[in-house]
Amino acid sequence: MTTTRVLVDGSPGLSVRADDRGLLYGDGLFETCALRDGRPLLWARHLDRLALGCQRLGLPAPDREVLTRESLGLCAAVRRGVLKLLLTRGRGGRGYRPPAVPTPTRIVSLHPLPDYPPSFWTDGIELRVCATPLGDNPRLAGVKHLNRLEQVLARGEWDDPAVPEGLMLDTRGRVVEGTMSNVFAVTRGGLLTPALERCGVAGVMREEVLALAADLAIPARIGEVSLADLAAADEVLVTNSLIGLWPVRRVAGRSLAPGPMARRLLEALRRRGAV
């Protein structure tokens, strides 16, 4: 799939108003979904997170049926690709104060799937540690909002295409997530993933992996994670909606081999139709 198609408030087009608060302040939310055979994967989870984000930002939740209809219309006949949903608080004049009754802007767009080498799934990736920290903000933690400057700065720290992901720490040096993914450490057959109460995005694939772990009776814990925890882990994994899961073969000065947990989870995710 090479074409990009976009619907703005239900109509084909590429333009939004120059006074849209999404553009002015990053006042909005987005979702990035993998597409398979005309269907966005983990669709209910994406819509649920969008609805939760709307609650947190005080935005009217979009109509699930409208979003589903527009998305399915755009995805029809697309075998593999990326569907992006973006919702802003709409137009709002000058000044930060949100309008009492917002009229959100809704953008649904279709994109090609990133072209990652198959070795990222089979042999694992190198995960570099970024210098840009994530700031604490419990009101925004977990939400996939449009303010992504921390990730932009972190992703600008390196340009080696052989290193696809960077690890982000909070200001106290605790592991939070990747620039575009969530992180799991595997120790003695159990999973550990960072708590996201102060910062980070609560990934849809992270939720799916935690649900899968519960189904497979794999112990999973959410808590504090240090670089030393990653360096001491049996396996390290990163997850997001597009990649599903990549094993990590190098992080924090340590080399790791892709292990049985990565293979087991990835196979199970494929069986569930999550990737």
Interface with ligand PLP (CB under 6 A): 32, 151, 177, 180-182, 201, 203-206, 239-241
Q: In 10 A of CB 208, how many CB atoms?
A: 23
CA separation for the pair 27, 43 (Å, rounded): 23
Burial class (CB in 10 A: 0-12, 13-18, 19+), 63: exposed
Pairing of strands 182-187, 235-240: antiparallel
**CB-nearer residue toward ligand PLP: 36 or 98:** 36
DSSP letter (8 states) at residue 176: E
Of the pair 85, 205, the CB lying nearest ligand PLP is at: 205
* Minimum CB–partner distance for residue 236 and ligand PLP (Å): 15
Catalytic residue among 144, 179, 193, 239: 144
Q: Which is nearer to ligand PLP, 193 or 241 (CB)?
A: 241
Instruction: Compute the least distance from the CB of residue 144 to ligand PLP, in Å.
Output: 7
Q: List, in order, residues 6 or more apart from 187 with CB less than 8 Å away.
A: 229, 232, 233, 234
- One of 177, 179, 235, 239 is an active-site residue; which one? 177
Tokens 């990730």, residue? 151
Active site residue 132: no
CB of 203 to ligand PLP, least distance (A): 3
Residue 235 annotated in active site: no
105-111, strands of its sheet edge to edge: 11-12, 5-8, 105-111, 80-88, 28-36, 39-40
Residue nearest ligand PLP (C-beta atom): 203
Closer residue to ligand PLP, CB minimum distance, 110 or 201: 201
Q: Minimum distance between the CB of residue 99 and ligand PLP, rounded to whole angstroms?
A: 27
Catalytic positions are: 32, 144, 177
